[in-house]
Amino acid sequence: MIQRKQTIFLLLALIATVVCLCLPLGWIEMKGMGASPILFNLALKDSVGNYDFAYCPLFVFMALASLLSLVTIFMFKNRRLQMRLCQLNLLMVCLWYALFAYYVFVSFKEMGTFHQELAACLPFVSAVFQWLAHRGILADEKLVKAADRIR
């Protein structure tokens, strides 16, 4: 049913991922002279306004996680598929964090010190809401199986 608590959790996860797509993830304090570039999910913006789109895989993973959250909300008639989509979304967020960690600890190490913004924590919030939704769907599935066993 669409009015269940897991729908609220999935909607909150969707909001967290969409907000993460729009806000900057952090900025790099350069070792030498120069202004600080800002990292977005789509690209790295330098002080002049040029964009380096080498970091767009972050955007792809987060956009897929957002789309998957939206699709999962409307799969309420098929609880097993909805649980699988929640697990897949958790995997997408984990892959996003792995790629983000690679960029921060390997790619930006030569450039300077990376300072994280609040938006970099939002995928974790989304993952928590996905996990809560998964637990709610699992509880509904157990309830339906118990009702079927009584009949």
**Per-residue pLDDT tens digits for 45-58:** 988 889 999 999 99
- The predicted pLDDT at position 140 comes to 87
- Provide the mean pLDDT of the chain: 90
94-142 pLDDT, tens digit each: 999 999 999 999 888 888 889 999 999 999 999 999 999 999 999 988 8
The set of residues, in sequence order, having a beta carbon less than 8 Å from that of 93 and lying 6+ positions away, is: 61, 65, 123, 124, 126, 127, 130
Its pTM stands at 0.89
CA gap 77, 58 in Å, rounded: 31
- The predicted pLDDT at position 59 comes to 95
Assign 90 to helix, strand or coil.
Answer: helix
13-62 pLDDT, tens digit each: 999 999 999 999 999 988 776 678 999 999 999 888 899 999 999 999 99
- The predicted pLDDT at position 47 comes to 82
Pseudo-torsion of CA 63, 115, 37, 56, nearest 10°?
-20
